[in-house]
Amino acid sequence: MDVEQVKQHCSAYPGATVKLHGPPGNVLAFQVGGRQFAYFKTSAPERWRFSLRTTSERFLELTDVPGIKPARYMARFHWVTIVDVATVPAGYLQELIGWSYAKALSGLSRRQQSVITGQLPAKVQ
């Protein structure tokens, strides 16, 4: 997957929104219900490095892979940065993004989750 495909994949999740944060952060963040599940750096020298949240076990596994490192400032929450998304197999990357999305979604209230997933109307009359 290239950068554009990853952006499209992240945007396709139910309730996913994209927010561009300018300086000093310079990130393109993907969120669900206001909770971030992935982001790209948009400024040099780290342009298009991709970060997402993982499990603690996968964090240890992934940080041993060349080109994947602990995310700056977010590593304590088990976030990793992938230097080049094209080097990670597409299926595996989609699985990682899916888990990160599900983790962010699970942090919302049950009501918010049901509205986002379409299992309950936004307004109960």
pLDDT tens sequence across 93-111: 999 999 999 999 999 999 9
Supply the pTM of this predicted model: 0.89
Handedness of CA 73, 78, 84, 85 (dihedral sign): negative
Going from N- to C-terminal start, the domains of the chain cover 3-117
pLDDT level of residue 44 (50, 70, 90 thresholds): confident
Separation CA 20–CA 41 (nearest Å): 10
Separation CA 13–CA 37 (nearest Å): 11
Residue 124 is predicted with a pLDDT of 46
pLDDT tens sequence across 61-103: 999 999 999 998 888 899 999 999 999 999 999 999 999 999 9
CATH no. for 3-117 = 3.90.1150.30
Cβ contact 45:72 at 8 Å: no
Separation CA 125–CA 80 (nearest Å): 43
Q: Give the mean pLDDT of the chain.
A: 91
Strand partners of residue 41:
27
Separation CA 123–CA 125 (nearest Å): 6
